[in-house]
Chains A and B, each alone.
Chain A
């Protein structure tokens, strides 16, 4: 781990640095494991219909609460055991992972688009618009997001769309802050000055000259944000405010399974472990990318 401290005065030449996505051979073994886990999880989520041995919502009341493989009363084929309705936990984990992935990805992308655009506009337009946007950013930083999520979900009900909305709003202020900061620096650069002198429109300057240069901090922030979104989604689903049953996300499996914790802990343990694998892998990758891109983001 490098000794990144909050050394804001460190010289770096953002304008001329090109961002190269790091590759396998750059990685140490921890990162390689994280990459592998991430890859396996992604492939499993994508191929859920083929990988999952059973229908995730198929109930079987005669084989309720069966323990996972290796325990007494294990039922053949149900590797992670069955839940309170006799559904296969392994299959539910896979489909839950798929949904968690999809939700988190949609949320993260929306957040990036909203926040990035606002940051870009604030940096380029400046003036009153910038003041307002940054005021909103300050306000958003000051208010714990969980509160906002609770409000939105209570008012608009719990459905997939609302969940995506909530996750999409999360984290926008981080992108806005980072992008605006970078833009403010870039806009002073000679090459932007040159483009302006050559008669480029503000839109063209934004898209062709500034945007490519803020890609690297955005990629890093996206990865770090992704694991927070996974945590937020599972937490809300855990509380029963997320996607409604019988559809499984990893968080709601833990939430519903906790009633059976004393007698059937495997209902909770399997999805909890998948969540941990996911957040660990993403977090490690994000940190690695940050070191690679050498962006001194404030770690949250």
Chain B
């Protein structure tokens, strides 16, 4: 068990190191970032000053080393555009993103787990087919199209919901739906498959044979056993799908979150912000994955009790 945890942590560390390296070299590939951002209208002295400030005159190896050490000491630099520490800028954006993602994840679980169970139980009837068709097609709809269609219907045609910002509870409805689309499709499929595995087990027949009501059989004996598989898949999928979805959805709804910030800094080439934003989202996803992995190990006796 301990080895398992250590191995997971070790893998996590390697992935983190890779992403830090990738981010560094990606942003240095294109030459001198200062010229890119400031362009014309800057005096020679100012330019030299900036280059010295960002340490761009030294060799790429030295820069890389300095970058690594600054990352470890929590120094991430200043935004090119706002001249504020990037950690401050990104942190301001974190809470709105987290709020939105929590909404989306809750919504997804509330919708897709019952749907998946239904699809598994009624797999031969029309209910199962309909659910699976929806889940299947939902996976092929880009979240920006869901977002745009929602805006068109509920904001511009019916005038029910506000489009921009995160001011009230009403503001959460459309972004939540847009992010959840793909998640619901994915998790419904997984729930169905996990339940199908469980439904044909002998202990389900035993539970029915001893006269338990059907819903107890399904929920207590079925879902609880399917939950272990589900937990691992859901954890891994949700983190990365949600990160991808929130980038585009936040930018549609001008949501003051990290996704919107990332897109904006990518378009404006504010590299320090982009670097730190990508790093923090990647770190969040990787840490969540590791936590899910370890939680899975604790939940699954086969791993928990295994030697080594």
Contacts and interface: CB of A to CB of B under 8 A. Distances in A.
Nearest to B278: A147
B289 interface: yes
A157 B237 CA distance: 30
Contacts of A150: 247, 262-263, 266, 274, 278
Contacts of A275: 142, 145
A147 B247 CA distance: 9
A23 interface: no
Given A150-B274, A151-B23, A154-B274, A6 B15 contact: no
B265 interface: yes
Interface stretch (A51-59, A134-142, A190-198): A134-142
Contacts, number: 143
A25 interface: no
A154 B267 contact: yes
Interface in B14-32: 14-15, 18-19, 22-23, 26-27, 29-30
B118 to A, nearest CB: 15
Contacts of B265: 154
Contacts of A240: 267
A241 to B, nearest CB: 6
B196 A5 contact: yes
Interface string B120-149: 000100000100100011011111110011
Interface stretch (A42-50, A213-221, A260-268): A260-268
Contact of B142 (A142, A153, A156, A235): A235
Chain B residues touching A, majority SS: helix
A152 B26 contact: yes
B186 A300 contact: yes
A279 B281 contact: no
Contacts of A269: 152
Contact of A280 (B137, B244, B262, B263): B137
B286 A142 contact: yes
Interface of A: 1, 3-7, 135-136, 138-139, 142-148, 150-157, 227, 231, 234-235, 238-241, 251, 254-255, 258, 261-262, 265, 268-269, 272, 275-276, 279-280, 282-284, 287, 299-300
What 7 A-B pairs have minimum CB-CB distances, sorted nearest first?
A154-B266, A279-B140, A283-B140, A146-B244, A144-B243, A139-B15, A144-B240
